[in-house]
Amino acid sequence: MDLGEQRKHIFHKITTMRDTSDIYHIVDGMDIPKTRNANGIFMNLSALSPEDIRILYGVMETIHIHKEESLPEVGVPFGNPETNSFVEDISPNYHEVKTPIPKKMKLTRLQRRILAILN
């Protein structure tokens, strides 16, 4: 595989990984041009030497990406196909929240006068 294909392979693997902590430690230990910030490490693959690309490509070949299986939609069969089990449509268990009824405020004579003046 030529150098350009190896760069594409490295880029594709990094972008499809959910957890890049293993690669982070490898890249952090390499003597390559990179930038560190709060989001992680940024490196320009086109600026790396051919030897660094080969090293990263070798590391990427050992990493297997497991695609997470998404949960089935409601009503779609899942589980044991022999029993043909289904996910039932279950309504959420909500309870009504009673809002408290405000009590009449007891105002003093001064407060009633102030309110009367404002109205």
**Does 115 have pLDDT greater than 70?**
yes
Regarding predicted confidence, which is higher, 47 or 119?
47
Contact 107, 115 (CB under 8 A): yes
Buried b (16+ CB within 10 A) or exposed e, 81-119: eeeeeeeeeeeeeeeeeeeeeeeeeeeeeeeeeeeeeee
The 10s digit of each residue's pLDDT in 22-64 is: 788 888 888 888 888 888 888 888 888 999 889 888 888 887 6
The 10s digit of each residue's pLDDT in 63-97 is: 765 544 444 444 444 444 554 444 444 555 666 77
Residue 102 is given by DSSP the state: P
Residue 46 is given by DSSP the state: G
Residue 92 is predicted with a pLDDT of 58
**Does 109 have pLDDT greater than 90?**
yes
Residue 103 is predicted with a pLDDT of 85
pTM given for the model: 0.50
> Once rounded to an integer, what is the mean pLDDT over residues 98-116?
88
**Does 108 have pLDDT greater than 80?**
yes
Residue 22 is predicted with a pLDDT of 75
Residue 74 amino acid letter: V
Contact 72, 78 (CB under 8 A): yes
Contact 30, 55 (CB under 8 A): yes
Place of tokens 């009449």: 104
